[in-house]
Amino acid sequence: MVERKAHNMFRSIAALMFVSVAAVSLTGCGSAVSGSAAASEIDVRKLDTGAYPTDPLDYRAKYAHSNANGINLAVMRLADSVANGWEIDPTLKYARLAKPLTTATQVGELLADVDTAIVARENMMFGFAMSATTTAPVAKDYSVQRDVNSKPDQPQLDTIAVNLTVLQFPDADSARRAAADVEAADFAVAAGSNTAVALDTYPDAKAHWRQGIPTIGTTMARGSYLVNVFVKRPDADLDKLKELTRKVLATELPLLDGLAPLTKRDVLHLDYDPQAMMRRTLHPGDIPSPDYSNEYVLTPRGFLPRVVDTDAWRHLMDVGGVDLLSATPDGGLLMRARDAAAAADLGNEFKRVSKRPADPPADVPGAFCSENTATAPYTPGDRFYCTVRYGRYIARVSSAQRLDAQQRAAAQFALLANSSWM
């Protein structure tokens, strides 16, 4: 099973939306609140922020450019140009996978073991994969690509699934060689029963299908990118499998055409926080460490594969006109709305779907908290949720303890206020 990681606060917004999470600790290190409140604003130095920092991260730490950090930033950039399920077909509204790919081994674990050596030989730089289905996930439903490949004879649920993987290579030639060899290697796994399939409108795409098996695999190169599409249906209708594959390519290829490939030098020099989102996001740590799994800045397209019920979250993004989201390990989830009025609308929508109100942090304007009623026994980090707003920014924090959630919320509000002038 391919591992999914996401931030704790996505565990639940009441019973409406859910996402897989990894448990994290509740500790944090802080700094003194600095600066003074602007006219007509509260003095954030007087808020109970516990030990949480209220100065922007770039005041407390300096980002270190490195290949590892650059690769992680490049993955996020790519994720913002990989179509999510809803964009491909509105019925594909449940996300099943959001996987950064930084090594050839990870690619082999996702696609097929035989692909590891191929992408390594052609110096794959990084990649991103997503999976979406038409039905909510259940145990052992075999909708993620590697699960289907490893259990081809398992009974298939009445679901449609799309798995989309994009890899960047150093140049178009290496991507083209890798695409041709990945398709040949995948075909050879069952050469006696696989049949080559042509996708009329995409002559460069190489696909194969096995009689009676309700899946089709397709690989092609697009400039410096390799695109792999794996489609599953409840039935083995080849025409319908081809039709959905064409929809995936019709959605994804224009996105890649608009994304200039990166050189190794470009990767090294990518900026950590060009949109000034991370400096506004509660970050209990003091070392900037970009990672798609838990320390990221993403557009809604890159974010939605992280959450299971994409319809619910897409509605929230539309209400607020959200164009960017950021999160940090054991910190906050920050959203940038279209303007202050849209942020207020988004806050009201979060409040509407909250089932059980909880005491908000004292003296934080407009803050509200709720207690999660959907999960029992509670796991760390998902019981109490608090929401704060400042200008066009709205943030959510969570904790297993009410006081801790309140202090996080107060610290996040103070950080938003301080970052507006610091």
pLDDT (tens digit per residue) in 395-421: 999 999 999 999 999 999 999 999 988
Give the integer Cα–Cα distance in Å for 229 and 111: 10
Can you tell me which residue has the tokens 């690509």?
A: 145
CA 372 to the chain's CA centroid: 23
| Predicted confidence band of residue 142 (pLDDT cuts 50, 70, 90) | low
Can you tell me which residue has the tokens 């509740």?
A: 26
**Residue 354 pLDDT:** 84
Crossing angle (nearest 10°) for helices 310-320 and 340-353: 150
Contacts of 113 (CB under 8 A, 6+ apart): none
| Predicted confidence band of residue 156 (pLDDT cuts 50, 70, 90) | low
Give the integer Cα–Cα distance in Å for 250 and 247: 5
| Predicted confidence band of residue 381 (pLDDT cuts 50, 70, 90) | low
Q: Compute the Cα dihedral for 132, 172, 119, 206 and give only its sign.
A: positive
| Predicted confidence band of residue 110 (pLDDT cuts 50, 70, 90) | very high
More confident residue, 25 or 395: 395
Tell me the percentage of the chain whose pLDDT exceeds 70.
84
pLDDT beyond 90 at 20: no
Please report how many Cα atoms fall inside a 13 Å half-sphere around the Cα of residue 335, on the Cβ side.
30
**Residue 35 pLDDT:** 35
**Residue 38 pLDDT:** 42
Geometric angle at alpha carbon 362, from 360 and 366, rounded to 5°: 60
Task: Write the pLDDT tens digit of every residue in 30-42.
Answer: 333 333 334 358 9
Mark out the alpha helices in 32-152 (DSSP H runs): 57-60, 67-79, 85-88, 104-110, 115-121, 145-150
pLDDT beyond 80 at 139: no
| Predicted confidence band of residue 6 (pLDDT cuts 50, 70, 90) | very low
CA 59 to the chain's CA centroid: 27
Where is average pLDDT lowest: 31-45, 226-240, 286-300, 351-365?
31-45
Contacts of 377 (CB under 8 A, 6+ apart): none
Give the integer Cα–Cα distance in Å for 401 and 86: 35
Can you tell me which residue has the tokens 């991103």?
A: 128
**Residue 147 pLDDT:** 60
Mean confidence (pLDDT) of the chain: 87
Q: Where are any strands of DSSP class E within 203-304?
A: 206-210, 215-222, 225-232, 296-298
Task: Write the pLDDT tens digit of every residue in 221-261.
Answer: 999 999 999 999 999 999 999 999 999 999 999 999 999 99
- Is the bond leading into 377 cis (omega within 30 degrees of zero)? yes
Per the document, the length of the chain is 422
Are the CB atoms for 105 and 117 separated by under 8 Å? no
| Predicted confidence band of residue 151 (pLDDT cuts 50, 70, 90) | low
What average pLDDT does range 3-15 have in this prediction? 39
Pairing of strands 393-399, 384-390: antiparallel
**Residue 137 pLDDT:** 79
Task: Write the pLDDT tens digit of every residue in 205-218.
Answer: 999 999 999 999 99
Where is average pLDDT lowest: 74-88, 139-153, 363-377?
139-153
Please report how many Cα atoms fall inside a 13 Å half-sphere around the Cα of residue 267, on the Cβ side.
22
Q: Is 293 helix (H, G, I), strand (E, B) or coil?
A: coil
pLDDT beyond 60 at 7: no
State the first-to-last Cα distance of the chain, in angstroms, to the nearest integer.
45
